[in-house]
Homo-oligomer: A and B are copies of this chain.
Amino acid sequence: MPMMTAAQYEESLRRLNLVVYMFGKRVENVVDDPIIRPSMLAVAQTYALAHRPEYEDIMTAGSHLNGARINRFTHIHQSTVDLVKKSKMGRLLGRNTGCCFQRCVGMDALNALSIVTYNMDQELGSPYHKRFLKYLAYVQENDLTCDGAMTDPKGDRSLPPHQQPDPDVFVHIVAETAEGIVVRGAKAHQTGAVNSHEIIVMPTMAMRAEDRDYAVSFALPSDAPGITYIIGRQSCDTRKLEDGLLDRGNTRFGGHEALVVLEDVLVPWERVFMCREYGYAGELVEKFAAYHRQSYACKVGVGDVLIGAAQTAAEYNNVAKASHVKDKIIEMNHLNETLYCGCIACASEGHCEPSGTYAVNTLLANVHKQNVTRLPYEISRIAQDIAGGLMVTLPSEADLQSPETGKWLEKYFAAKGEVPTINRLRILRLIENLTLGTAAVGYLTESMHGAGSPQAQRIMIARLVNMAQKKRAAQNLCGIEEE
């Protein structure tokens, strides 16, 4: 089967029977819901661009299973070149959508599982890798979007899973049958969950023997019985319910996150990839985290949009040639390209795992993600500087359209020369969207916490640097003998 088109992807979602709640009510038509739809359209871009010849090299790959041309989001990385292309794909789609396009998390889960299931089978004689490859073939063949689900609610953070007052605050096995395992729990912050065909569940952290029931990884169709989705709300979400597009800022795309509740869901054995092998939970988390920290390459693309918006606003305001404005644009670019260096370097310095999968350089992936928790905030601050205060005092599109007030807005908010006033307002709304609105959720807060909060990266950096080598180098130079 060839790769799906965007239209086919949309159709495929219509065939799902998801249980989705938002604003306290069941969403009957998920695909057409005005709040959810822009996020679906963002995922659809991952399908659409794969058919564009100019992006073929970036967006597609040859399957290592059968050589078929597949969407890169379903690909297992076979080289550092693949890893670098993954980073470039993230930037491309970030620039294309100006938001979170949601599909990377499934790609990262597949790649992490390809490594860890292999290692498990080698060491334990388990059947996981074989199962995984069969599942992967299914995903590739049907060009599916997968949600990679890792973050548990975690309850009291000072207690391990098995000591929690409520055992369900981490996903766990509650029963085992001939057909499979029955699981219960929830996964929080699930990006793009209701735009996915599949949900791939992984443990949220390393586990010990007492927590063996929590060391579990598996895949489910997104509409498997027992799964409930509750959509999180975002800053300015309801502007998508209003008439007119202007006040949305990004008139085309968006993102969403959901709480995914698993209420005694049956997982058939052929979809179980880890079942109580607690010793491998940590490895799966680390592999996934490293891949996913690389995936924040996408924020470079969103940064491109914000820089382009700031430059456009400066031109419309006729201040683009002021030296301080030019300098601020340079600074935005400098910071954005600094991020780019991180996602390229961790990819080009990748290595081959025993399974044949290429993994990123974990240290540099963590360094990259740590910068992602900082630099977009500064880029955003500068964008607000350049945009000017009008960005947050601008009346609504309805005021612009109103016969009573529209004339005043046209008169007093006129942009430079021949530029239509409405275009000035559009670009300001886009900057608002990216720095305060729905897209700020992705560009800022998700940059902070997605793929692990800043402290998680710092712990990894401390663990991964070769401190002994550095100490020896210093001691050698100042005359301290080998200890």
Chain A positions near chain B (C-beta within 8 angstroms): 21-26, 84, 95-98, 151, 153, 155-158, 166, 168-169, 186, 188-189, 228, 230-236, 238-239, 242, 245-247, 249-253, 257-259, 261, 304-309, 311-312, 317-319, 322-324, 326-327, 329-330, 333-334, 337-338, 340-342, 344-346, 348-349, 363-364, 367-368, 370-371, 373-374, 377-378, 380-381, 384-385, 388-396, 398-399, 401-402, 404-405, 408-409, 411-414, 416-417, 423, 426-427, 429-430, 432-433, 436-437, 440-441, 444-446, 448-450, 453-455, 458, 461-462, 465, 467, 469-480
Contacts and interface: CB of A to CB of B under 8 A. Distances in A.
Given A95-B470, A470-B307, A230 B461 contact: no
Given A306-B474, A308-B471, A437-B235, A364 B340 contact: yes
Nearest to A429: B478
Nearest 3 Cβ contacts at the A-B interface: A24-B398, A308-B470, A389-B449
B384 A448 contact: yes
Nearest to A444: B384
B390 A477 contact: no
Given A22-B395, A330-B462, A389-B453, 6 more contacts: A21-B404, A21-B405, A98-B474, A157-B317, A232-B392, A322-B455
Nearest to A301: B473
Contacts of A454: 385
B384 A478 contact: no
Contact of A235 (B329, B337, B436): B436
B470 A305 contact: yes
Nearest to A375: B338
B364 A341 contact: yes
Contact of A469 (B304, B318, B370, B478): B304
A100 to B, nearest CB: 11
Contacts of A312: 471, 474-475, 480
Given A238-B238, A454-B385, A21 B399 contact: yes
Contacts of A480: 312, 423, 426-427
A396 B258 CA distance: 11
A249 B477 CA distance: 8
A477 B23 contact: no
Contacts of A448: 381, 384-385, 389
B395 A231 contact: yes
B470 A311 contact: yes
Contacts of A429: 478
B319 A157 contact: yes
A212 B114 CA distance: 62
A412 B153 contact: yes
Contacts of A323: 323-324, 327
Contacts of A232: 392-395
A189 B188 CA distance: 39
Nearest to A346: B341
Nearest to A244: B24
A308 B371 contact: no
Contacts of A22: 395-396, 399
Contacts of A450: 389
A183 to B, nearest CB: 15
Most buried by B among A24, A189, A238, A249: A24
Contacts of A381: 374, 377, 444, 448
A371 B375 CA distance: 13
A375 B471 CA distance: 20
Contact of A478 (B309, B329, B337, B453): B309
B230 A188 contact: no
A460 to B, nearest CB: 10
A261 B98 contact: no
Contacts of A304: 469-470, 473
Contact of A389 (B189, B311, B368): B189
Given A24-B402, A478-B249, A98 B473 contact: yes
A422 to B, nearest CB: 9
A385 B411 contact: no
B436 A445 contact: yes
